[in-house]
Amino acid sequence: MIEIKDVHKSFGDLEVLKGIDLDVNSGEVVSIIGASGSGKSTLLYCINAIEKINSGKIIVDGVDVHNKKTDKNKLRQNLGMVFQQWNSFPHLTVLENAALAPQIVKGFTKAEAEEIARKELIHVGLGDKLNEYPTRMSGGQQQRLAIARALAMEPPYMLFDEVTSALDPELVGEVLDTLRLLRDDGMTMICVTHEISFAKEVSDKVAFFHEGLIEEIGSPEEVLDNPQRERTQQFLSKVL
Amino acid sequence: MDNYEFHWNVVFDAFPQLLGGAFTTIHVSVLSMLLGIVIAVLLALGKMSTSKVFYHIANVWIEIARNTPALFLIYMAYFGLGAYGIHLSPYFAVFSALVFINGGYLAETFRGGFQSIPKTQYSAAKSLGMNKFKVYRYVILPQMFRRIYHPMTNQFVWSILMSSLGILVGMNELSGETQRLQSTSFRTLEFFIVAAVMYFVITKLVLLAASLISKKVFKGEIS
């Protein structure tokens, strides 16, 4: 379980998160929507400790993420993250991309790591690209590689930061299909997304962020079909 | 010139000495390159450092190295320091100047290579649970190295060719040796033609080796 309690985060004078409370239970899919600059992505970066927080607490399976004594590298093994830019490692083949962290972080042998990597790559539909170099692949394929690479660490949680927003429209579908696949596997996921209809389809909970606060949270039907807050209504009327 | 008769025998007889000169050329270029790389790493770190002192030291070094003639630096090392009672051998004067210049040029190459790796690669690697060492060892440096590899090769070729300035301070590298041999035999053209061919062969071999190594080591593409 991920527990987020009254989290504040500033970049210099700019307060980006102004007190976020959010619980994500195991097996749950939570989508975060909202305008650019509302703090959605920052929250993900704070959950896996790439960014520090100013106050509040983030607890993952009982571990206080921002406690100085917490081993952040170990913690991140439980929090797979996929970014807007897919960030494939261009000097490694597809298989090597996905096998690298299991081998050098988890200490599996090369053969074991490649076995896990192969399984995940086949799962996301890249079984025929194992020995390709990622720069020769489409953005959608590279994003699926990024997902498989994160999955190869076998994390209980996955964080998705606008994973389709840098893709050409015709490539969005294949990546969303991959996310649906994970949802069906029972993966716990937090998805920051601009794909409202996707959020509606896969989420257990939808949170609407506005200027660093959760303006409205609830089931997709509540938040997306019958938003109670004016700002949520305004946002949805613009994006739908 | 119309009646110039080539006499190659004297050159062939002196070939062992020319080879000795070529060896010194390679020697000074390799060593100045190796030490230059070490200094370049430090200068590049200095230039990216938040410490003003390190930044300015690195900056001054790099600016002088990149904006003054190699000849000037060799003269400074040989005659300039000599005026202060510090007498360097011709070899060491040339070596020092080449190290100074290689350090300055390569520092900018390294800094550019380092900064050309997107920060997001770092975040992506971190998010997979890698510690700092592993991020650099497996993700950042391999990409950086292939970006700086060819500029480094060029710098090495440059060092080989620039070491010929050793002729001006009496160093016995290939050019200096050639100069000495032609001045006693008066077969100026023959000796310099052969020396030029030798430089050409050396640099071509270096480039060939560099390209073979890069094909073997660098797979995939960088974005």
Whether residue B152 has pLDDT greater than 70: yes
- A221 pLDDT band, cuts 50/70/90, is very high
Percent of all residues in chain A with a pLDDT value above 70, rounded to a whole number: 100
| A42: chain B residues, CB-CB within 8 Å | none
Q: What is the pLDDT of residues A62-84, one digit of tens each?
A: 999 999 999 999 999 999 999 99
- Give the mean model confidence (pLDDT) for residues B46-75: 95
| A104: chain B residues, CB-CB within 8 Å | 130, 134, 138
Residue of B nearest to A90 (CA): B222
B187 to chain A nearest CA, in Å?
A: 53
Model pLDDT, residue B223: 44
| A89: chain B residues, CB-CB within 8 Å | 121, 124-125, 139, 143
- Give the mean model confidence (pLDDT) for residues A186-215: 93
CATH homologous superfamily of B13-217 equals MetI-like (1.10.3720.10)
Domain-wise residue ranges, chain A: 1-73+192-240
Of A87, A90, A105, the CB nearest to B222: A90
A146 Cβ contact list (under 8 Å, min separation 6): A82, A83, A86, A87, A88, A163, B124
| B219: chain A residues, CB-CB within 8 Å | 91, 93, 133
Model pLDDT, residue A167: 85
Whether residue B6 has pLDDT greater than 90: no
Flag the least confident range among A137-146, A165-174, A210-219, B188-197. A165-174
Of A76, A100, A106, the CB nearest to B127: A76
Q: Do the Cβ atoms of A93 and B130 come within 8 Å?
A: no
Whether residue B128 has pLDDT greater than 50: yes
- Give the mean model confidence (pLDDT) for residues A52-69: 94
Model pLDDT, residue B1: 56
- Give the mean model confidence (pLDDT) for residues B184-200: 93
Looking at per-residue confidence, does A153 or B5 come out higher? A153
Structure tokens at A148: 């498989």
Q: Do the Cβ atoms of A50 and B126 come within 8 Å?
A: yes
- Give the mean model confidence (pLDDT) for residues A119-146: 94
Q: Do the Cβ atoms of B123 and A77 come within 8 Å?
A: no
- Give the mean model confidence (pLDDT) for residues A178-204: 92
- Give the mean model confidence (pLDDT) for residues A12-31: 94
CATH homologous superfamily of A1-73+192-240 equals P-loop containing nucleotide triphosphate hydrolases (3.40.50.300)
Model pLDDT, residue A37: 85
Do the Cβ atoms of A44 and A161 come closer than 8 Å? yes
Q: Do the Cβ atoms of B120 and A85 come within 8 Å?
A: yes
| Alpha carbons A187 and A158: distance in angstroms, whole number | 7
Whether residue B27 has pLDDT greater than 90: yes
The question of ipTM being above 0.85 is answered as yes
A230 to chain B nearest CA, in Å?
A: 36
Q: Do the Cβ atoms of A91 and B128 come within 8 Å?
A: no
Whether residue B119 has pLDDT greater than 50: yes
| Alpha carbons B88 and B191: distance in angstroms, whole number | 28
- Per the prediction, chain A carries an average pLDDT of 93
Q: Tell me the pTM.
A: 0.83
Model pLDDT, residue B220: 66
Model pLDDT, residue B4: 83
> Which DSSP state fits B138?
I
Domain-wise residue ranges, chain B: 13-217
Cα B170 to chain centroid, rounded: 20
Q: Mapping DSSP to helix (H, G, I), strand (E, B) and coil, where does residue A119 land?
A: helix
Do the Cβ atoms of B222 and A92 come closer than 8 Å? no
| A150: chain B residues, CB-CB within 8 Å | 127-128
| Alpha carbons B75 and A140: distance in angstroms, whole number | 59
Of A90, A136, A150, the CB nearest to B143: A90
Q: Return the amino acid letter for B2.
A: D
Q: Mapping DSSP to helix (H, G, I), strand (E, B) and coil, where does residue A8 land?
A: strand
Model pLDDT, residue B130: 96
A4 Cβ contact list (under 8 Å, min separation 6): A20, A21, A22, A23, A24, A43, A47, A56, A57, A58
| Alpha carbons B156 and B94: distance in angstroms, whole number | 15
- Per the prediction, chain B carries an average pLDDT of 93
Whether residue A6 has pLDDT greater than 50: yes
Whether residue B140 has pLDDT greater than 90: yes
